[in-house]
């Protein structure tokens, strides 16, 4: 009789997935690098524009530049590692304008109080995310409004590109045609044509090629100008760190400002994240809705809002120009890490970034924005109660210069139109809860 044999089972070790799983997400390391550079070049203007706006509010430009770049690096890197998504985080133009011009420059409040408002809005963002309410909001948004958010953002950033290149300028009653014979306008228009051709031919790194080429062409045209050395040490005197008033910012008479700021940034950031994740979902699974969970992205951006306020950098948000990375083929957080690395280099080369002319970056912003507009064709035109609210998102985004406000207008319009048309059953129950807050938002804005 054979002796008993004891079988020892060897535990099966599961192979851990790579940090970014670039191949599994349908990308390559080279494509992620190109996407990261594309996002960096499309958003590099922030290190000049944002500090300039805050300088108008009385902040030291050298110190705030260092703070802004530092926040961009930390927030974008966190989005890459924790969120594993190709997105750039930086102080948003709309929120910075609200803080710098409406609140501080007009003498409404002092800067530390404004930073307190930013801090508390970030805390509310974070709580809404942790309790799943923010993800719930994205689910109860009507399909037609959701489809309009991407085109609205695309139209908005295309407008930013036209404006920065001088193709459109403010008129007496509305916008008017800029000087198309100026070197900046001619270079921008030529670069747009070349970029469209390169994208149509699927040339790798088309965005980078056009930006570099336009920057070089801008030298003899006097558009690309480097003042002094290309490199300099970052300047930070510590005066902005934790320069925040958490108590006064909660005063009852500041509540309308706080709510207006919160609601605008909520819909702006949520709209951008929804747009990028929808794009990634369709890229991975053509013909199907987005399958990318945005919760991690929500956690990162809400946490970065809080951290940014402690650094004196207001209104950190996920930038619409992140779509440049997705359009360039970026599928993972590796793209974001490359972008963060570029900004780290830029921390010591701010004058070099300032030398890149608007005529070099505007073509990328314009083409990316116009390309996103194609999503509007998926909205049904048979039902006016679906079409009109969706169109309101686009119209109000441009008329009011803020796609967060445009999204809020479209949502409120959707509820009102459906009720008056006798189709109130089409309204998600969650929208009835949201509607009073939307009304209060517009009252606060007014």
Backbone angles phi, psi at 241, to 5 degrees: -70, 125
Element (H, E) at 299: helix 295-310
- Distance between CA atoms of residues 345 and 85, nearest Å: 21
pLDDT at 396: 86
Domain ranges within the chain, ordered by starting residue: 29-445
Burial 200-225 (b: 16+ CB within 10 A, else e): eeeeebbbbebbebbbebbeeeebbe
For residues 209 and 367, give the distance between their C-alpha atoms in angstroms, rounded to a whole number.
Answer: 14
DSSP run (H or E) holding 407: helix 403-420
3-state SS class at 169: strand
Q: What dihedral do alpha carbons 328, 333, 334, 336 form, nearest 10°?
A: 70
pLDDT given at position 363: 86
Q: What pLDDT, on a 0 to 100 scale, did the predictor assign at position 19?
A: 75
d(CA 203, CA 195): 10
DSSP-derived letter for residue 236 is -
> Taking Cα atoms as reference points, which of 299, 319, 266 lies closest to residue 93?
319
Size (the chain), residues: 446
Dist CA 135 CA 125 (whole Å): 11
Q: Where are the beta strands (DSSP E) in 275-343?
A: 316-318
Alpha helices (H) along 131-237: 133-140, 143-164, 183-200, 206-217
Tokens of 283: 């890229």
| Ordered per-residue pLDDT tens for the chain, 446 residues | 555 555 555 555 555 566 788 887 778 899 899 989 888 887 887 887 788 778 777 888 778 888 899 999 999 999 999 988 889 999 877 677 777 766 777 666 888 888 998 899 889 888 988 888 777 777 787 888 877 877 887 787 788 788 878 888 877 767 788 888 899 999 999 999 999 998 888 776 677 788 889 989 999 998 888 766 767 777 776 777 888 888 988 887 777 667 666 766 777 777 777 777 776 766 555 544 444 667 788 889 889 999 998 988 888 888 877 877 887 888 888 999 999 999 999 888 877 766 778 788 788 778 877 877 776 777 777 788 989 998 998 888 888 776 667 888 888 999 999 999 998 888 888 888 888 888 887 876 66
User: Which residues are paired to 294 by β-bridges?
Assistant: none
Structural tokens at position 7: 């079988």
How many CB atoms neighbour CB 434 within 10 A?
17
Q: Quick check: 224 and 356 in contact, CB under 8 A?
A: yes
Closest residue by Cα to residue 110 from 220, 226, 254, 11: 254
Q: What share of the chain is helix, strand, coil (3-state, %, to 5)?
A: 65, 5, 30
Strands 175-177 and 168-170 come out as antiparallel
CA nearest 90: which of 244, 375, 311, 283?
Answer: 311
């Amino acid at each position: 009789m054979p002796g008993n044999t004891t079988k020892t089972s060897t535990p099966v070790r599961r192979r851990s997935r790579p940090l970014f799983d670039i191949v599994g997400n349908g990308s390559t390391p080279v494509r992620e690098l190109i996407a990261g550079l594309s996002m960096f070049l499309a958003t590099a203007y922030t290190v000049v524009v944002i500090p300039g706006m805050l300088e108008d509010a009385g902040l030291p430009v050298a110190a705030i530049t260092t703070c802004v770049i530092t926040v961009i690096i930390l927030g974008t890197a966190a989005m890459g590692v924790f969120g594993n998504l190709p997105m750039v985080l930086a102080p948003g133009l709309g929120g910075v304008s609200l803080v710098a011009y409406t609140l501080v420059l007009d003498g409404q409040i002092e800067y530390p109080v404004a930073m307190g408002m930013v801090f508390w809005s970030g805390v509310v963002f974070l709580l809404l995310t942790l309790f799943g309410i923010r993800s719930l909001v994205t689910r109860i948004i009507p399909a037609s409004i959701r489809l309009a958010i991407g085109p609205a953002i695309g139209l908005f950033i295309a407008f930013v590109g036209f404006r920065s290149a001088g193709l459109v300028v403010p008129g007496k009653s509305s916008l008017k045609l800029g000087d198309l014979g100026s070197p900046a306008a001619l270079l921008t228009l030529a670069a747009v044509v070349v970029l469209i051709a390169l994208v149509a031919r699927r040339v790798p790194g088309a965005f980078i090629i056009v930006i570099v080429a336009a920057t070089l062409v801008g030298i003899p045209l006097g558009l690309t100008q480097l003042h002094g050395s290309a490199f300099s040490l970052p300047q930070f005197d510590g005066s902005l760190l934790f320069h925040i008033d958490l108590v006064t910012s909660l005063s009852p008479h500041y509540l309308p400002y706080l709510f207006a700021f919160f609601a605008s940034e909520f819909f702006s950031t949520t709209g951008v994240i929804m747009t990028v994740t929808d794009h990634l979902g369709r890229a991975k699974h053509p013909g199907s809705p987005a399958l990318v969970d945005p919760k991690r992205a929500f956690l990162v951006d809400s946490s970065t809002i809080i951290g940014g306020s402690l650094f004196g950098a207001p209104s950190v948000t996920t930038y619409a120009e992140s779509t440049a990375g997705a359009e360039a083929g970026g599928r993972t957080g590796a793209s974001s890490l490359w972008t963060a690395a570029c900004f780290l280099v830029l921390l010591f080369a701010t004058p070099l970034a300032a030398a890149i002319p608007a005529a070099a970056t505007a073509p990328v912003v314009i083409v990316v924005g116009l390309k996103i507009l194609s999503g509007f064709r998926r909205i049904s035109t048979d039902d006016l109660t679906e079409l009109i609210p969706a169109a309101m998102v686009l119209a109000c985004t441009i008329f009011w210069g803020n796609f967060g406000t445009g999204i809020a207008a479209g949502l409120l319009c959707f509820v009102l139109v459906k009720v008056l048309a006798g189709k109130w059953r089409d309204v998600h129950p969650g929208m009835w809860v949201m509607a009073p807050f939307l009304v209060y938002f517009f009252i606060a804005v007014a």
